[in-house]
Amino acid sequence: MGLKIFNTMGMRKEEFTPLRKGEVRIYVCGPTVYDFIHVGNARAFVIADVVRRYLEYKGYKVTLVSNITDIDDKMIKRSQETGLSLQQLGEIYSNAYFEDIAALNIKKPDICPRATQHIPEIIEAIEKLIQKGYAYQVDGDVYFNVMKFEDYGKL
């Protein structure tokens, strides 16, 4: 008997089949590093780690990616409150995150991209969404136009 995954769209359990034979790639939304992680954050990391370890046990080559959000409104606010630079704040809480997951015996993600390492790509993607009419600007902010995405909210 193989692994069954609950498909929320179909509302049923389905046999897990990887996209590539013998290989599984997992993405888990990582922390926003303006503060220490909490139990709610850790829950997602624990679940991903259990799934990863099970798949590795079953012989799959697993690559787990978990981002680090090191720039956003919460980061800017905390930087202003503490007097720490965004870089200092990000470094302190990124290190704390890795210490905390190690203390929980969670395997470190294989890849941990930081938002600040991809600013040009993020800007380019936003510009393309605006050009194609999938996003729009209001008072300096950009919003995704959910009416343009037929399957929005389907899950």
Fold of 4-113: Rossmann fold (3.40.50)
pLDDT band at 145, cuts 50/70/90? very high
Q: Transcribe 11-35 into DSSP letters.
A: TEEEE---SBTTEEEEEE---BTTS
pLDDT of amino acid 1: 60
| Secondary structure element (H or E) that encloses residue 49, with its range | helix 39-57
Q: What's the average model confidence in pLDDT over 126-144?
A: 96
The total of other beta-carbon atoms located within 10 Å of residue 144's CB is 13
In this predicted model, what pLDDT tens digit does every residue of 49-60 receive, in sequence order? 999 999 999 999
Domain boundaries, the chain: 4-113, 119-155
The total of other beta-carbon atoms located within 10 Å of residue 35's CB is 16
Mean residue pLDDT of the chain comes to 96
Task: Give the Å distances, CA to CA, from 112 to 17, 30, 31, 48.
Answer: 25, 8, 10, 14
Residues 6+ apart with CB under 8 A from 7: 13, 14
The total of other beta-carbon atoms located within 10 Å of residue 33's CB is 27
| Secondary structure element (H or E) that encloses residue 87, with its range | helix 86-103
In this predicted model, what pLDDT tens digit does every residue of 44-96 receive, in sequence order? 999 999 999 999 999 999 999 999 999 999 999 999 999 999 999 999 999 99
Provide the token pair at 5.
């995954």
Q: Answer whether 34's CB lies under 8 Å from 93's CB.
A: yes
